[in-house]
Amino acid sequence: MSAVLQNNTPAEAEGREPWEKYRAAAGGLDEYWYPVMTAAELRQKKRATVELVGRKLVLLADGAKFRALLDACPHRQVPLSLGKVEFPGTITCMYHGWTFNLESGRMVAALTDGPDSPINGKVGVRTYPVEERIGLVFVWMGEGKPVPVEDDVPTELFREDARVYPFVRTVGGNWRHATENGFDESHVKMLHRYAAWVTFRNVSAWNETSIDKSDDGVWLERVQRNVHLFDDYPGLGSWPKKRFWKPEPNKGVTTGGKDHAVGVRLPCILRVRQPGKADWTHYEWYVPINKDSYIYLVLAVTWRSSPWKRFMFWMRYWTYILWVHHYGFNNQDLGVVAKTPEGAPVRLFRPDISIIEWRRHLEQNARPVNRSGNNKGAGA
Ligand code: FES
Ligand SMILES: [Fe+2]
């Protein structure tokens, strides 16, 4: 184990305000690309609204392109998402007919004030860069120049043989608690102990864990050094209880390794490699809507070139993984994240090294938090 943590963090012990960037990002980190829905859904609906990092947006399918605009008309702040497409490539506000170009956001007409309306061309609505990748709609929320979308998506998802199964939900809770829950070392052993997903697996009592960084510095990975399947708790007895249907371990301690490594990366992405022959990887994005809710976007991804193997995974996903993992198992996480109070005092314990290292990683590596853009009104 790489460190033994005290009840508070080193910065707290020194009386410094810890995790400044982390705290400032309660409503989300601005300077990132976020996936918000599937491209298929937006193409089919043509129009959708989403709140992202505290800003309400309207998303539109404009021919083959996707567009994102602040969902507020600069005239009286009525949502543009209620408007009409009177002319291709534009949206017209439903109230007084101010009309905006979807790509630039510039006003092209104030229909109810005639073609020579003096305000025409003098106002605009903010637009946000949108890109489609791996079947998802990504929106850039930053004030700065967008980085390539590829910088904010795990590289392996772009492989030709990747098959990506997305599942998107809007849920309550803070995105940072959700990210920390994903990377949290010890909750699996308590919260998920009786989940159907682990019925026939041993869930250990506790693990000795270290946090490694990937060679490219992008991922933090939780690696099990020693796995204590059972242990004796003085005055209480052995825990967990042995169950005849669980595989019987040879001994109480085994070595873990990277086989089932859990990784986390900025801005809010979790990766869980499934063990052994399972041959797929689970991803989660906790996309910040605001400080009280987030988009919970889950991917099951497999890399198979054989059509037969792809079909077998398709079957397994729809008959098993979606229900038992993405609903059953993950609903336990969603429930507890929604009940984790925001900003309340905490006392940490040894397994929380995973959380400490994640916060440290965010502090040191997240692109600068730019709150000035939040809740910015429409206008030129
Ligand atoms: S509120 Fe949009 S045109 Fe008046
Ligand atoms: Fe969990």
In the predicted model, what is the mean pLDDT of residues 12-34? Answer: 80
**CA-based end-to-end distance of the chain:** 54
For 206-249, what is each residue's pLDDT tens digit?
999 999 999 999 999 998 888 898 899 999 999 988 776 666 65
Answer yes or no: are the C-beta atoms of 99 and 120 closer than 8 Å. no
> In the structure, which protein residues have their CB atom closer than 6 angstroms to any atom of ligand 1?
73, 75-76, 78, 93, 95-98
What separation in Å is there between the alpha carbon of 94 and the centre of ligand 1?
A: 7
Answer yes or no: are the C-beta atoms of 266 and 366 closer than 8 Å. yes
What separation in Å is there between the alpha carbon of 95 and the centre of ligand 1?
A: 5
Place of tokens 């801005």: 267
For 1-14, what is each residue's pLDDT tens digit?
333 334 455 555 55
Range with lowest mean pLDDT among 139-143, 272-276, 371-375: 371-375
What separation in Å is there between the alpha carbon of 46 and the centre of ligand 1?
A: 22
Angle, helix 353-365 to helix 175-183, in steps of 10 degrees: 130
Nearest ligand to the CA atom of 330: 2
CA 148 to chain centre: 18
In the predicted model, what is the mean pLDDT of residues 365-378? Answer: 60
How does residue 346 score in pLDDT terms, banded at 50, 70 and 90?
confident
Nearest CA to ligand 1 atom 3: 96
pLDDT exceeds 90 at position 260: no
For residues 197 and 77, which has the higher predicted lDDT (pLDDT)?
77
In the predicted model, what is the mean pLDDT of residues 161-190? Answer: 95
Closest ligand 1 atom number to CA of residue 83: 2
Backbone angles phi, psi at 111, to 5 degrees: -55, -35
Closest ligand 1 atom number to CA of residue 76: 1
pLDDT exceeds 70 at position 251: no
Best residue among 58, 71, 78 to mutate for probing ligand 1, ranked by most atoms within 8 Å of CB: 78
Percent with pLDDT over 90 in the chain? 73
Answer yes or no: are the C-beta atoms of 286 and 294 closer than 8 Å. yes
DSSP 79-124: -GGG-B--STTEEE-TTT-EEEETTT-BEEEEGGG-TT-TTTTT-B
Answer yes or no: are the C-beta atoms of 34 and 141 closer than 8 Å. yes
Domain boundaries, the chain: 33-140, 154-365
d(CA 352, CA 375): 34
For residues 346 and 26, which has the higher predicted lDDT (pLDDT)?
26
Nearest CA to ligand 1 atom 1: 76
pLDDT exceeds 50 at position 274: yes
Nearest CA to ligand 1 atom 4: 96
d(CA 229, CA 10): 31
For 286-305, what is each residue's pLDDT tens digit?
999 999 999 999 999 999 88
What separation in Å is there between the alpha carbon of 375 and the centre of ligand 2?
A: 32
CATH architecture label of 33-140: 3-layer Sandwich (2.102)
In the predicted model, what is the mean pLDDT of residues 20-44? Answer: 95
Q: Which fold has domain 154-365?
A: Naphthalene 1,2-dioxygenase Alpha Subunit; Chain A, domain 1 (3.90.380)
